[in-house]
Amino acid sequence: MKNKNIVTIGGGTGSFTLLSGLKKYPLNISAIVSMADDGGSTGVLRDELGVLPPGDIRQCLVALSDSTDMLRKLMSYRFEQGGLKGHTFGNIFLSALEKINGNFAKGVEDAAEILDVSGEVIPVSEDQMRLQIELKNRKILKGENQLDHNEDIRSIGIKRVYLKPEVRAYQKAIERIKKADFIVIGPGDLYGSIVPNLLVKGLSEAVKKSQAKVILNCNLTNKKGQTENFSLEDYVDKIEGYIGKGRIDFVTFNRKKLPEKLIKKYEEREGKGSVVDIKERNAMRSYRIVLANILQEHEIQKAKNDSIGGTRSFIRHDSGKLAKVLTMIFEMGDYENIIKEII
């Protein structure tokens, strides 16, 4: 049985978690990564050097790397003092490779070779872009960094997001989607990590036309003003608004109850309705919900000198559990075909 072609779409910590688990299985993985990040170390490098955002790409490279533990630690090392305080070595490394090559995508390929990456890490676009956020009162905020740092978002709420300028998808990303057996979306911030990919010209259209099965890893928690009180169904509706109604085939959803202590702590930050639930458990759907214990049991601690660490979720998927569930879905079709042949 040949290895399945798996395309993941996302960015940030969600993609790192997903890829860290999937890389342990015999799969052909192509990770398509958002290029809208402009917060923390990444934002400074974008503004000062004019480079494409390296942060999410770095996380995906580290997740898929088969290199030494020391080299992976080096890529994630965050400087604690001086002019480089808050920067990660990996972000600076990728920015240097872009400058050397004169091309970000080529720099990522070189980094993947140095880090002995299993699979491919692909920027969704080779062009500079900025996320534009329109609030429900029609006010426009500029930059993905605003999502977690602007109080207007939390108090007023988001109406829509779009990219400026409009950019085209990197051709390699389109080619991998065409050849995919499965397309895996999320987990990750809806407006920060997932939707920016789907807004890039040609990307959503490629997913619509693809013969691949589409899997959504539903988020565990919501964010005030962004996905406030969202249910599983709301996430599906929002994403299918970009890739086409009925396009999602499977949704993975955590069935393990979150510890009350963590729920309380999260609700103090994000308000009531922070934990995602299923609105109608017995409803007729065009997709299958796969219920499983995919929760990381212990609370995630903020990394030292991470300037945006306070905005990250401390309730996350378990990479190993999630990967195990996904590989079962990948193999499901093979077993169904075998059963049909036997019958």
Residue 141 belongs to a domain: no
Residue 94 belongs to a domain: yes
What are the φ/ψ torsions at residue 163 (nearest 5 degrees)?
A: -105, 145
For position 158, what pLDDT does the model report? 96
Q: Domain holding 326: CATH number? A: 3.40.50.10680
Distance from C-alpha of 158 to C-alpha of 150, rounded to nearest angstrom: 11
For position 305, what pLDDT does the model report? 54
Provide the domain limits for residue 246: 5-125+171-342
Helices within the chain (DSSP H only): 12-22, 40-49, 55-64, 69-76, 89-101, 104-114, 151-156, 171-179, 195-198, 203-209, 232-243, 260-270, 319-342
Distance from C-alpha of 266 to C-alpha of 202, rounded to nearest angstrom: 36
Residue 147 belongs to a domain: no
- Max distance between CA atoms of the chain, in angstroms, equals 69
Our count of domains for the chain comes to: 1
For position 93, what pLDDT does the model report? 98
Residue 207 belongs to a domain: yes
Residue 222 belongs to a domain: yes
For position 258, what pLDDT does the model report? 87
For position 245, what pLDDT does the model report? 97
For position 337, what pLDDT does the model report? 58
For position 308, what pLDDT does the model report? 47
Residue 155 belongs to a domain: no
For position 148, what pLDDT does the model report? 87
Nearest to 219 by CA among 258, 183, 182, 249: 258
Which residues does 147 contact at the CB level (< 8 Å), separation at least 6? 131, 133, 153, 189, 191, 192, 223, 226
Residue 144 belongs to a domain: no
Residue 74 belongs to a domain: yes
Sheet of strand 28-33, all strands in order from the earlier edge strand to the far edge: 120-123, 28-33, 5-10, 182-185, 213-217, 250-254, 288-292
Distance from C-alpha of 34 to C-alpha of 186, rounded to nearest angstrom: 11
Which residues does 28 contact at the CB level (< 8 Å), separation at least 6? 3, 4, 5, 6, 119
pLDDT in tens, the chain (343 residues): 689 999 999 999 999 999 999 999 999 999 999 999 999 999 999 999 999 999 999 999 999 999 999 999 999 999 999 999 999 999 999 999 999 999 999 999 999 999 999 999 999 999 999 999 999 999 999 999 999 889 999 999 999 999 999 999 999 999 999 999 999 999 999 999 999 999 999 999 999 999 999 999 999 999 999 999 999 999 999 999 999 999 999 999 999 988 888 889 999 888 888 999 999 888 889 999 999 999 998 765 555 555 444 445 678 999 999 999 999 999 987 766 554 444 4
Which residues does 340 contact at the CB level (< 8 Å), separation at least 6? none
Grouping H, G, I as helix, E, B as strand and the rest as coil, residue 216 is strand
**And the tokens for 294?**
């995919």
